[in-house]
Amino acid sequence: MMLLGSPQALKSARPGEKGFKDQMTSRMVDGQRIRIMTRRTFLTAAGASVTAGLTQQGFPQKAPGNPLPRPSATQGRPLIVSTWPFGKPANERAREMYAQTGNGLDAIEAGIRLTESDISNASVGIGGIPNAQGVVQLDACIMAGPGHRAGSVAGIEDILHPISAARLVMEKTPHVMLVGDGARKFALEQGLESGDLLTPNQKQRWMEWVAAQRRTYQPEKPEDNHDTIAMVLMDEKGDLYGGCSTSGWGYKLPGRVGDSPIIGGGLYVDNEIGAAGATGLGENVMRYCGSFLVVEFMRQGMHPEEACVETIRRIAKLDPRPIHDLAINFLAINKKGEYGAAGSSSGFQYAITLPDQSRVLKSAALSNVNEIPLGGNRLTDDI
Catalytic residue at 25?
no
In the three-class reduction of DSSP (H, G, I as helix; E, B as strand; rest coil), residue 365 is classed as: strand
| Active-site residue identified among 41, 83, 115, 228 | 228
How far is residue 209 CA from its own chain's centroid? Answer: 23
CA neighbours closer than 13 Å in the CB half-sphere of residue 358 = 18
Q: Cα dist. 24→38, 164, 231 in Å?
A: 6, 38, 35
Nearest to 64 by CA among 291, 281, 370, 380: 370
- The gap between the terminal CA atoms of the chain, to the nearest Å, is 25
Please tell me the total number of residues recorded for the chain in this structure: 383
Nearest to 228 by CA among 127, 83, 365: 83
| Contact residues for 296 (Cβ-Cβ < 8 A; gap 6+) | none
Give dist(CA 161, CA 312) in Å, integer. Answer: 30
Nearest to 206 by CA among 130, 123, 257: 130
269-307 exposure pattern, b = at least 16 Cβ within 10 A, e = fewer: bbbebbbbbbbbbbbbbbebbbbbbbbbbbeeebbbbbb
Under a CB-based contact definition with an 8 Å cutoff, are residues 195 and 115 in contact? no
| Contact residues for 126 (Cβ-Cβ < 8 A; gap 6+) | 116, 117, 119, 136, 160, 195, 197, 199
- Beta-bridge mates of residue 142: 151, 243
Q: Cα dist. 8→1, 25, 142, 222, 327 in Å?
A: 14, 16, 33, 11, 14
Catalytic residues: 228
